[in-house]
Amino acid sequence: MIERYTLPEMGNLWSEENKLRTWLKVEVEAARAMAKHKIIPQASFKIIEKKANFDLKRVKKIEQEINHDLIAFLTSVAEFVGEDACYIHFGMTSSDVLDTSLSLTMKRAGEIIDKKTAAAISEIKKLCKKYKMTPCIGRTHGVHGEPTTLGLKFAVWYTELTRARKRFKDAIEMISVGMISGAVGNFANLDPKIEAAVCKKLKLKPAEVSTQVIQRDRHAHFITEIALLGSSLEKFATEIRNLQRTEIGELSEGFAKGQKGSSAMPHKKNPITAERISGISRTLRGYALSAMENIALWHERDIAHSSVERIIIPDATILVDYALEKFIGLLKGLVVDEKRMLENIYYRGGVVFSQRVLLKLTGPIGSREKAYRLVQKNAMKAVSGGGNFRELLKTDKEVTKHLSEKEIDGCFDLKYYTRNVDKIFKRIFRQ
């Protein structure tokens, strides 16, 4: 991933140095377990444990000659260890190291992502409570529907991101498995107790059964949950982008002192962070498809998945980590224009209260259809610029025959749209 979207902690996790350091950890733990079970000499393990190291530049140079990254790594390690290096990687195959190390790194990456997801949920919860009763217009098809509250809008985000976090934690659990099972996964040269001991040390679980690789449905699950998490972030970002439009103006991103919005138009304040999150999410969904393509490998293994994973797994975790960081900052700096929200609710004299008028009229008129036509006539006139909806109702003799001015005014009271909000919040937050 390009440096622009790479944060230090996650970037360091996927560095070449850390990758080989993780390989070394797996190799040393395997040697430890083998020494304990008298498969290799205890004295040789002590030397391995003390001397095992590698030189990254040397590994790269060897790889250029032999065209195999793990063997190049083992050759460099052997140069540090000496003759006892013959007991490193004893009875193992490359994927024992590669896949177990990958699982360990994905688990760590998942923990970073989960921590930030929890932080984003916490920020949304604050917004839920702060704006619990703040009226705003609810829109369907992009058109004004009925009043709701901004707190309820945020509550939808809160519950959705909570679900995303739960699913992602399941994906972390699913990928937290290792294998030390040999060339085709049948433990021909090593007992399963070696695998169990290594996995215990690394805080992984042994895969129930493996071929020469850990099965890629696990990895696809992990990347797909990242894509789903990113898609939810895009949904929230898209809402902010829409509500920042000049014609709406209800929410907007914070704008730092000295920030510039356009090279040509000095008046611009653009939702650039939300737009960046949207773009990142599109990339993540593409990675999910690639991860699914990796599931179908030939027989006990091939390496068609390898080149794909070298790109998509580091990139997906780096990108969603960055998107979450930006989303948290966006939430903390979010600008809410409550005055504009009220203005939008009462646009054209409050046509969005038409259902309240309809319900009030239906009984006295005795026909919902007749009441609907009467309310619709006045609402459409107001929408087309023919007057103020509330005033049009008060001057319509067919309406005033059944409703007093006081009753008409009562239909425009926002309390109807907030009276059950507390009940919803208690259901969500168990208050």
**Residues belonging to the active site:** 141, 262
Q: How far apart are CA 113 and CA 399, in angstroms?
A: 58
Contact 323, 229 (CB under 8 A): no
In single-letter form, the type of residue at position 293 comes to E
In whole angstroms, how far apart are CA 254 and each of 317, 330, 332? 26, 7, 9
Q: What is the DSSP letter of 21?
A: H
Q: How far apart are CA 313 and CA 200, in angstroms?
A: 24
Contact 306, 31 (CB under 8 A): no
HSE toward the beta carbon, residue 164, CA cutoff 13 A: 30
In whole angstroms, how far apart are CA 296 and each of 182, 207, 213, 220? 20, 18, 12, 11
**Sequence-separated contacts (24+) of 262-266 with Cβ below 8 Å:** none
Q: What is the 3-state secondary structure (H, E, C) of 69-130?
A: HHHHHHHHHHHHHCHHHHHCCCCCCHHHHHHHHHHHHHHHHHHHHHHHHHHHHHHHHHHHHH
Residue 402 CB contacts under 8 Å (≥ 6 apart), including other chains? 361, 364, 365
Q: How far apart are CA 70 and CA 92, in angstroms?
A: 12
Helix (H) or strand (E) run with residue 205 in it? strand 205-206
Q: How far apart are CA 265 and CA 247, in angstroms?
A: 18
Report the helix count and the strand count for the chain, using DSSP H and E.
18, 6
SS3 call for 321: helix
Residue 187 CB neighbour total at 10 angstroms? 17
